[in-house]
Amino acid sequence: MLYRNALTGYDLRKCMENGVGMFYKASYGSIYPLLEKLSEQGMVSYTENTVSNRKQKKYAISDKGRKHFDYWLTEYEPSDLKIEAFMAKLYFCDHLEESLVTEKMECFCERINRKLQELYQERKQYLKMTNQEEFYYKLSTLYFGITKLQSLLDWCNVVKNRSSLEYLIMQENREM
């Protein structure tokens, strides 16, 4: 969030109320100590201002911080990667070269596909059973998992084809 503008700890919190806040939120209890830590590491620096008698510390990212952030965006993801964590990163990828992001998305797609295949296997077990009604909500949550991953793959393809914008506008007809 500091990549474009210098911000206070309070501003950072505000930023997480929408946008990336869909995927990641933090409290002051984690923001302020982290800013201090990042400052010690030379990732950020701050200037103390006084705006209409109110003191504030405005944090700006350093070159080192920028470099480290770009590394973090493109590094190989841990094997237990969560969808929300992936989205939180993708949200900040606009300044990266397109091919880097596409590669990242392809890795992600593969993992999602593997998970989906596991769920298909699980479904087979359920579909064999004769007393499916007894497990209606277990089946429903499995159905949820499958549709979620299927639509996620569809979404990946839309994004890769640079068609997100069209789809976003198209959907308008469903708004209330």
Partner DNA sequence: TCCCTCATGTAAGTAGTTACATGATTTC
Partner DNA sequence: GAAATCATGTAACTACTTACATGAGGGA
C-alpha distances in Å from residue 134, one per residue of 36, 66, 154: 54, 54, 32
Pick what 57 binds: DNA, its own copies, none; C-beta below 5 to 8 Å, kind-dependent.
Answer: DNA
- Is 37 or 95 the residue whose CB approaches DNA more closely? 37
What backbone phi and psi angles, to 5 degrees, belong to 122?
-65, -40
C-alpha distances in Å from residue 34, one per residue of 2, 5, 18, 26, 170: 13, 18, 21, 11, 40
Q: Does 51 participate in binding its own copies (rule CB under 8 A)?
A: no
| Helical packing angle, 98-128 and 136-160, nearest 10° | 160
Going by their DSSP bridges, the two strands 54-61 and 44-51 should be labelled as antiparallel
Q: Does 15 participate in binding its own copies (rule CB under 8 A)?
A: no
Q: Which of 6, 23, 57, 81 binds DNA (CB under 7 A)?
A: 57
- Is 56 or 139 the residue whose CB approaches DNA more closely? 56
Q: Does 127 participate in binding its own copies (rule CB under 8 A)?
A: yes
- Residues near its own copies (CB under 8 A) are 18-20, 22-23, 87, 90-94, 101, 113, 117-120, 122-123, 126-127, 132-148, 150-151, 155, 158-159, 162, 164-165, 167-169, 171, 174-176
